Amino acid sequence: MRLELKGLTKKFGSFTADDDIDLVVEPGQIHAVLGENGAGKSTLMNMLYGILTPTSGEILIDGEPVSFSGPGDAIAAGIGMVHQHFKLVGPFSVADNVQLGREHTQRLGVLSAKAARKAVLDVSEEYGLKLDPDAICEDLPVGVQQRVEIVKALSGPKTELLILDEPTAVLTPAEITELLQIMRNLADAGTSILFISHKLKEVQAVADTVTVIRRGKVVAELEPTASEAEMASAMVGRAVTLQVDKTPAEPGEARLEVTGLTVVSDAGVKVLNGLDLTVHSGEIVGLAGVEGNGQTELARSILGLVKPDSGRIAIDGEDVHGASPAARIAAGLGYIPEDRGRDGVVAEFSVAENIVLNQYRDAPFAKRGAVNAGAVRKRAADSIAEFDIRTQSPEEPVSALSGGNAQKVIIAREFSRPRRFLVAAQPTRGVDVGASQFIHSRLVAERDTGTAVLLISSELDEIYALADRIAVIYNGQIVGEVAPDTPREVIGRLMVGGGIHDGAAAASPEEPGAPEPPAAEEAPEPPAADETSNDEDANGGDR
Amino acid sequence: MAVDTMTASPAVVDESVPVKFAKPGGVLAALGLLLVAIAFAVVGGDDTTTIAFDRTLTDVEWALPTSITVALLGAVTAAGGAWMIIGLPKRRFKLVAGVAVTAFVLGLLFWAYSQPGTVFRAESILAGALFLSLPYLFGALSGVVCERSGVINIGIEGQFLMGAFTGVLVANITGNVYAGMVGAMAAGLLSTMLLALLATKYQVNQVVVGVILNLLALGFTSFMYDQLKKAEGLNSAFSIPAISWGPLADIPVLGPVLFNQKIFVYIGLVLVFVIWFLLYRTRWGLRTRAVGEHPAAADSMGVNVNRLRYWNVTLAGLIAGFGGAWFTIANSLAFSKNMTAGLGFVALAVMIVGRWNPLGVLAGALIFGFTTQVARDLDASGGSVVPGEFLQMLPYAVTLVVVAGLIGKAKAPAADGVPYNPGDK
């Protein structure tokens, strides 16, 4: 099947998730779509699979324009999808999951278990995907569950195009190797594959052609022979040069010391692997890296939302092990979360309530257990003026604000209270240029008051604009700490696990020599993962 | 939990390796010993318990010495408990637990019926138990259909009331008792459609809607009851005869229980197996269970989640409405205010005890029906040692035990009560 997208656009209110996407998947081709989280990949796939309706543009299959009103239409047109969060009914058998929606029946809708079992065996034999049709899905390891998903996608009436949405996110290295082989076999058998990923090595290993999208736009068409650094820089962008006025940093004492931090995910993968990092007062340390290398876990560990498996986190020289997030915040930790909607604001609460969300228990906002509405209103009015939050009134719910203004609410909240250390994760994601400038200048001003700032960003330009020191994270480790004037190519190489001295570029004087990062395949073999995120995903939220 | 004490190797679970079940075993052993103590300390030495087949073999009676029988049953209970504590093959657990619990309940019964003048009329009581289990059965089956597709239905009580009321009204208007039954079904169906609409299209909190529908049904039927009192012949009792299966009805025990009952009993029993078959053996059932477990998965395979939920909730209303007709037509009663007396809520407990499975629901309903019948019987004869209320309390205790997960885990459908919005990505 030849799939062509012409000017496909999806808007959510004023936010454009996908903007004028053009893309062609040739028959039997593995076409990788590369992009950071939030770049618009999943939205694109959901349009292709009929879950979302495009705002404009068209989808052509073998030259014929099609329109899908639901996944059923996409399946009928020959498209199969393997979702990032598996869509498997846990207590069902493999055969039942595969036949759901296109059941094998005898007369009057009575199921034929025999036919269903045979259908699974036929497909698994045809493509070499070994499966037991009677196994209960929730008992299977994640890798096998994914195989069920693939068989399910291939079992459509005439599946010729397979969409794989971040298929390796939950897999162990061994399972990833196996999946890539399966993909290759499928393509050789004539199935077209659309492979969504932000993992460069996998894309290089398996794709025939690569499309990079960033902020909803196609920014590059690359050959798989393109270097990882090239792909990485296309993903994180270099278009806009951000200019922030700042004086050289005057680092003081260490405010955050992370030593040997290790976090093992539920799937048994070491997402943080003995990470060491120090941030001093009066400096901004930029944490650069391709997303998914442990940034999220690091930020959440510092706040106390994730319990590290080993290692030490000290804030102001004091080990915070076992301290609750509230205690850490009270001790002067500020936190700008990467996922604004989930961790940043209570969308249904008003702007004023969100601004005092971390201080509502303290004077003057609370008096003997009751909220002091006057003080809250005054603080809200002050913050709205100071941070230029565009809102109709302090009583307006945050859900009515644009992304940039919602982010300003968070910044206002975190900045209007004494703090000694600030974690800013993707502080300008989904924020327009003007608001980004404002947030950047506030971060610098914050540094100048002596606060230690850890800036986690997937945008290299942002790191360059703000950081006084750049730490590069890869596979859960800091693989290099370099000066802010280090060339892009060097950082790009570090971000994908290359050595610092591979090129001709000069390294920073404080560079301790990058440790050899373990290749993905050599990562410790975890036990077969037991459960996926199926439970929390029960109602299909893709958040 | 019992599973925590498993000693078998997790790699290959050998079913014959003894496993210890300390908690349930301890409870059963204590109850059994208590029963033995009662047998000797409380029951008089010459007390006897009389059992009679009162319908088929009217001249046969057995009189058993109470204290010895109760002591034996108590010993059986205690022995079962002790076996669980020592450890028994896992596959034997259910059997042993069943025997021990049954022995305990029988012990209580023997004790309760040991008073002079009271006779355990086995056939009447068992037949009555089956009949009295019907409201639980219909209500719980309605709940199963609803909750298996992911919608919580707290409103069964209200649907009962609507069915009970409309059944009598339609029967009076048409003069046909079967038309009344159809009317009851229609009333249940229509009053549930509101829940179906609000739960699917408008994604309202289902528990809140259910509670409100209950209050609405109570208010509406009570108001109409007052109005009908003024008009003659709109709320008169209608009754239907029991269906006698000829010679089959004369078989001891089985005859009175199974072959000489009202049509409600047969519809209820058939419905159990029909719904079980539909749920586990048909396309509709597969999709219904998928929609209740993981609606997004069903949606991604082209199943219209909310449309399926809508019609399932409506169908559940039809079943509950028919269950409502039991209160009036099957009992040959006119409608009276709040005559369902909370049984719609008990039906939800039965559904949980039955673990959202029609066969489990049947077992649960029979237990509830049996204790209700025995309690009524004891209260009618008067002067029982064990108060009827105590026996009536037992099924609720069982419910708590099941819900607390002591005897296996009662697992609700994963998406039960969670509205599904396909656009909410």
| Binary contact (A72, B302; C-beta < 8 A) | yes
Question: How far A16 CA sits from the closest chain B CA (Å)?
Answer: 15
Residues B95 and B241 in one domain: no
Q: Which two tokens stand for residue A536?
A: 């929390």
Residues B34 and B170 in one domain: no
Q: Domain for residue B351, yes or no?
A: no
| Binary contact (B418, A539; C-beta < 8 A) | yes
Residues B107 and B146 in one domain: no
Query: In which residue are the tokens 């499975």 written?
Result: B357
Q: Which contacts (CB < 8 Å, 24+ apart) does range A365-369 have?
A: none
Residues B195 and B76 in one domain: no
Residues A365 and A440 in one domain: no
* Shortest CA distance from B422: residue in chain A: A51
Q: Domain for residue A542, yes or no?
A: no
* B338-375 pLDDT, tens digit each: 999 889 998 998 898 888 999 989 988 998 898 888 88
Residues A484 and A429 in one domain: yes
* Chain A interface mutation, best of B287, B294, B420, highest count of A Cβ atoms under 10 Å: B294
Q: HSE (CB half, 13 Å, CA atoms) of B354?
A: 33
Amino acid at A533: S
Q: Domain for residue A337, yes or no?
A: no
Q: How far is CA A492 from the centre of its chain?
A: 19
Domain end point (choices A214, A236, A258) = A236
- Judge residue A522's burial from the number of C-beta atoms within 10 Å of its C-beta, 0-12 exposed, 13-18 middle, 19 or more buried: exposed
Q: Domain for residue A534, yes or no?
A: no
Residues B298 and B331 in one domain: yes
Residues B151 and B110 in one domain: no
Residues B113 and B151 in one domain: no
| Binary contact (A88, B297; C-beta < 8 A) | yes
Q: Domain for residue A441, yes or no?
A: yes
pLDDT, greater one: A528 or A403: A403
Chain A residues whose C-beta is within 8 A of a chain B C-beta are 46, 49, 51-52, 70-73, 75, 81, 83, 87-92, 96-97, 99-103, 105, 108-111, 152, 534-535, 537-542
Residues A158 and A25 in one domain: yes
DSSP category for residue A522: G
Residues B174 and B217 in one domain: yes
Cα A183–Cα A185–Cα A186 angle in degrees, nearest 5: 65
Residues B76 and B161 in one domain: no
Question: How far A72 CA sits from the closest chain B CA (Å)?
Answer: 4
Q: Chain A contact for B379, CB < 8 A?
A: no
Amino acid at A87: K
Q: Chain A contact for B284, CB < 8 A?
A: yes
* Residue A96 banded pLDDT, cuts 50, 70, 90: very high
Residue A510: what pLDDT? 40
* B101-128 pLDDT, tens digit each: 889 888 888 888 887 777 888 888 899 9
CA A22 – CA A235 distance, rounded (Å): 17
Phi, psi of B196 (to 5 degrees): -60, -45
Residues A183 and A328 in one domain: no
First-to-last C-alpha distance (Å) of chain B: 38
- What domain count does chain A have? 3
Q: Chain A contact for B212, CB < 8 A?
A: no
Q: Which two tokens stand for residue B222?
A: 């009570």
Whether the predicted pLDDT of B401 surpasses 90 = no
Domain end point (choices B91, B122, B153) = B122
Residues B173 and B227 in one domain: yes
H or E element, residue A351:
helix A351-355
Q: Domain for residue A447, yes or no?
A: yes
Q: Which two tokens stand for residue A74?
A: 């996409």
| Binary contact (B302, A102; C-beta < 8 A) | yes
Residue A97: what pLDDT? 92
Residue A533: what pLDDT? 37
CA B83 – CA B26 distance, rounded (Å): 10
- What domain count does chain B have? 2
Domain end point (choices A417, A447, A464) = A417
Q: How far is CA A340 from the centre of its chain?
A: 13
Cis bond leading into A248, ω under 30°?
Answer: no
Q: Domain for residue B424, yes or no?
A: no
Cis bond leading into A364, ω under 30°?
Answer: yes
A72 neighbourhood in chain B, CB within 8 Å: 301-302
Domain end point (choices B277, B309, B341) = B341
CA A181 – CA A169 distance, rounded (Å): 16
Q: Would you say B286 and A89 are in contact if contact means Cβ atoms under 8 Å apart? A: no
CA B390 – CA B204 distance, rounded (Å): 39
Count of beta carbons in the 10 Å neighbourhood of residue B397 = 9
- The DSSP result for A372-413, as a single string, is -HHHHHHHHHHHHHHTT---S-TTSBGGGS-HHHHHHHHHHH
Q: Would you say B271 and B365 are in contact if contact means Cβ atoms under 8 Å apart? A: no
Task: Report the percent of chain B where pLDDT is more than 90.
Answer: 42
* Chain A interface mutation, best of B278, B284, B286, highest count of A Cβ atoms under 10 Å: B286
* A272-327 pLDDT, tens digit each: 999 999 999 999 999 988 777 888 889 999 998 888 889 999 988 888 888 888 88
Q: Would you say A539 and B295 are in contact if contact means Cβ atoms under 8 Å apart? A: yes
Count of beta carbons in the 10 Å neighbourhood of residue A125 = 11
Which segment of A218-227, B179-188, B207-216 scores lowest on mean pLDDT?
Answer: A218-227
Amino acid at A306: V
Residue A176: what pLDDT? 82
Residues B249 and B170 in one domain: yes
| Binary contact (B282, A108; C-beta < 8 A) | yes
Residue B410: what pLDDT? 64
Q: Domain for residue B407, yes or no?
A: no
Q: Domain for residue B412, yes or no?
A: no
Q: Is the dihedral of CA B344, B345, B351, B356 positive or negative?
A: positive
Residues A248 and A220 in one domain: no
Give me the CATH number covering residue A430. 3.40.50.300
Q: Domain for residue A540, yes or no?
A: no
Residues A425 and A312 in one domain: yes
Question: How far A69 CA sits from the closest chain B CA (Å)?
Answer: 10
* B39-76 pLDDT, tens digit each: 888 777 677 888 888 877 877 788 888 888 889 999 99
Q: Are strands A209-214 and A217-222 parallel, antiparallel or unpaired?
A: antiparallel
Q: Which two tokens stand for residue A419?
A: 């703090």
ipTM exceeding 0.95, yes/no = no
Residues B164 and B310 in one domain: yes
* Chain B interface mutation, best of A100, A105, A542, highest count of B Cβ atoms under 10 Å: A100
Q: Domain for residue B94, yes or no?
A: yes
Q: Domain for residue B128, yes or no?
A: no
* Shortest CA distance from A43: residue in chain B: B425
Q: Chain A contact for B106, CB < 8 A?
A: no
B303 neighbourhood in chain A, CB within 8 Å: 100-101
Residues A91 and A154 in one domain: yes
Q: Which residue(s) pair with A312 in the sheet?
A: A259
Q: Is the dihedral of CA A355, A357, A359, A361 positive or negative?
A: positive
Whether the predicted pLDDT of A241 surpasses 70 = no
Whether the predicted pLDDT of A238 surpasses 60 = no
Query: Which residue range is the domain that position B254 belongs to?
Result: 138-341
Buried b (16+ CB within 10 A) or exposed e, B127-161: bbbbbbbbbbbbbbbbbbbbbbbbbbbbbbbbbbb
Q: Domain for residue B393, yes or no?
A: no
Q: Domain for residue B170, yes or no?
A: yes
Residues A288 and A139 in one domain: no
* Shortest CA distance from B280: residue in chain A: A111
Query: In which residue are the tokens 């400038």 written?
Result: A437
| Binary contact (A81, B290; C-beta < 8 A) | no
Residues A444 and A412 in one domain: no
Q: Domain for residue A537, yes or no?
A: no
DSSP category for residue A83: -
Q: Chain A contact for B295, CB < 8 A?
A: yes
First-to-last C-alpha distance (Å) of chain A: 31
Task: Report the percent of chain A where pLDDT is more than 90.
Answer: 17
Q: Are strands A209-214 and A56-61 parallel, antiparallel or unpaired?
A: unpaired
Name which of A300, A293, A288 is nearest A269 in CA terms: A293
Residues A179 and A110 in one domain: yes
* Residue A494 banded pLDDT, cuts 50, 70, 90: confident
| Helices B263-281 & B358-381 angle (0-180, nearest 10) | 150
Query: Which residue range is the domain that position A306 belongs to?
Result: 244-332+419-526
Domain end point (choices A236, A256, A273) = A236
Q: Domain for residue A383, yes or no?
A: yes
Residue B358: what pLDDT? 95
Which of A73, A96, A540 comes nearest B299 by C-beta?
A540
Residues A204 and A299 in one domain: no
- Judge residue B87's burial from the number of C-beta atoms within 10 Å of its C-beta, 0-12 exposed, 13-18 middle, 19 or more buried: middle
| Binary contact (B425, A97; C-beta < 8 A) | no
Q: Chain A contact for B304, CB < 8 A?
A: yes
Question: How far B10 CA sits from the closest chain A CA (Å)?
Answer: 13
Which of A88, A89, A101 comes nearest B302 by C-beta?
A101
Return the C-alpha torsion angle A430, A432, A433, A438, nearest 10.
Answer: -90
Residues A318 and A424 in one domain: yes
